[in-house]
Amino acid sequence: MSNFDSGTGSQQFDDFTKQASKTFNSFTAYAVVISIVNLVATVLVVYLIYRCCRKHGLPSINVKTTTTGEAATELTPLLPDSMIRNTTIDNFLNEIAREKPIRFTAQQLEGYTQRRSAELGAGGFGTVYKGMLPNGLDIAVKVLHDHMDDEVTEQQFMAEVGTLWRTNHANLIRLIGYCFDADERALVYELMANRSLDKYLFDRRHRVVGPAALLVIAGGVARGLRYLHEECQKKIIHYDVKASNVLLDGNLTPKLTDFGIAQLLSRADAQASVHAMRGTFGYMAPEVISVGKAPVTERCDVYSFGMLLFELIGRRKNMDNNAPESHKFLPLLAWTMYEQGNLLELVKECHYPVAASDEEQWKEAAERMCKVAFLCVQEQPEERPTMSTVVNMLEGHMEIPPPVYPFGWMYPQEASAGSGSKSEVFIRIDT
């Protein structure tokens, strides 16, 4: 009886063990399947978020907060010097600083700029200093003036960070990071080897830029504006397009900068809401000078770009009070020579050493750029071309229609040959 009971118990134990093993194996299989499903689901969610960000852009940055800057800290955590030091410049730009600007402390920027020892320039909103990150990347640090009204400084800061956060284009300056400490607002950009376009053009110590290079520079700025107006998620009006706000890298690639008064609009917005003048006299469109008399749209940037084109071909500022009376206002001088079919003389008068073998190329470039400029500076915004059309005309993809006299709002056409009253009118506008 005991042998029988022992055998039966042993058999029951074996059956139980087999059943338990089978149950455990089933449970393990289920757990593995569930883990795989969860992993696949996580990867799918991450991929969908990535696709959404690629298509619609990153969320808007909001740094308008208390003086401690908690919101900025949450969006962009501080990056320690050790992490920057241990990565290559290419990896830093392509991976770390690609998705959103980095937040730096005031102490870090003091070290990067060696206590602001090398000033590159100063403007209405801030001073720019040369610096270097721990990994050897050259940077330009724009420190906003602390003597300005806090609200104005904050608005300018938010406009620049909020605008450049949304953009990614070869002809727009790259914002690497910013500082939003209680006592300091600063912006950190890639350093441009040839600095600003106005210094490169107007400083005679720089080498002469040939006609092909001038067209490339003009086309680059135009493509940057086309991107702002027509291609990025939000329509962006720059409002201050001028030579000093175009930077040149080592290859003379132009990059539009200084977005402190830029305005972001919905694609559905036909016009901007403007209550005061924006920009720099001499470059401002008529509708921006006389706010309220006509709707302000992105075509005001087209006007400013036209004025920039005159300076590119003339290698001088649009207004020169030291020049002879008929030569003081460069755009009007260009129109006079265009009517006479003698734009090459404009190039020669602006001190370009033109070799006989290069005259045809200079003539073609001067005519193309001046004709486009005349179209861009028409008084009525709707008569100016879009930046897409400007790019196509500059690059020779479409014919340039004959321009009409564009300066009637400043002086009548019958006075275009030259008179004392013309420069007086422009001086009032330009001061």
Question: Which DSSP symbol is given to 396?
Answer: T
pLDDT-derived band at 67 (thresholds 50, 70, 90) equals: very low
300-351 pLDDT, tens digit each: 999 999 999 999 999 999 999 888 888 899 999 999 999 999 999 989 887 6
89-112 pLDDT, tens digit each: 676 666 555 667 788 999 999 999
370-412 pLDDT, tens digit each: 999 999 999 999 999 999 999 999 999 999 999 999 998 887 7
* CA–CA dist 271, 238 (Å, integer): 14
* CA–CA dist 389, 397 (Å, integer): 9
pLDDT at site 4: 46
* Rounded average pLDDT over 200-227: 90
pLDDT-derived band at 421 (thresholds 50, 70, 90) equals: very low
Q: Is the pLDDT assigned to residue 191 strictly greater than 90?
A: yes
Question: Which DSSP symbol is given to 229?
Answer: I
Query: 128 has which bridge partners?
Result: 121, 142
pLDDT, greater one: 70 or 132: 132
pLDDT-derived band at 195 (thresholds 50, 70, 90) equals: confident
Ranges assigned E (strand) in 226-321: 235-237, 246-248, 254-256, 263-265
pLDDT-derived band at 56 (thresholds 50, 70, 90) equals: very low
Total Cβ atoms within 10 A of residue 77: 10
E strand or H helix that includes residue 102: strand 102-104
Q: Is the pLDDT assigned to residue 420 strictly greater than 50?
A: no
Read off the amino acid at residue 63: V
Q: Is the pLDDT assigned to residue 175 strictly greater than 60?
A: yes
Using alpha carbons only, give the angle 202, 206, 209 rounded to the nearest 5 degrees. 85
Query: 129 has which bridge partners?
Result: 119, 141
Catalytic residue among 203, 240, 258, 301: 240
pLDDT at site 380: 94
Please report, for the chain, the start and end positions of each structural domain, with discontinuous segments joined by +.
70-190, 197-430
* CA–CA dist 75, 66 (Å, integer): 15
pLDDT at site 430: 34
241-274 pLDDT, tens digit each: 999 999 999 999 999 998 888 888 877 776 776 7
pLDDT at site 38: 67
What's the mean per-residue pLDDT of the chain? 79
pLDDT at site 334: 95
Q: Is the pLDDT assigned to residue 50 strictly greater than 70?
A: no
pLDDT at site 417: 46
The torsion angles phi and psi of 243, rounded to 5 degrees, stand at: -60, -35
* Rounded average pLDDT over 84-92: 70
pLDDT at site 407: 93
Alpha helices in 352-419 (DSSP H): 359-376, 387-394
- Write the class of the CATH domain 197-430: mainly alpha
pLDDT at site 21: 61
Contact 300, 237 (CB under 8 A): yes
Clarify whether 249 is annotated catalytic. no
- CATH 3.40.50.300 assigned to domain 70-190? The reply is no
pLDDT at site 200: 87
pLDDT at site 66: 35
User: What pTM value is reported for the model?
Assistant: 0.75
Contact 126, 157 (CB under 8 A): no
* Rounded average pLDDT over 227-231: 94
pLDDT at site 333: 94
Q: Is the pLDDT assigned to residue 31 strictly greater than 80?
A: no
Contact 248, 196 (CB under 8 A): yes
Ranges assigned E (strand) in 165-250: 175-181, 184-190, 235-237, 246-248
Q: Is the pLDDT assigned to residue 71 strictly greater than 50?
A: no
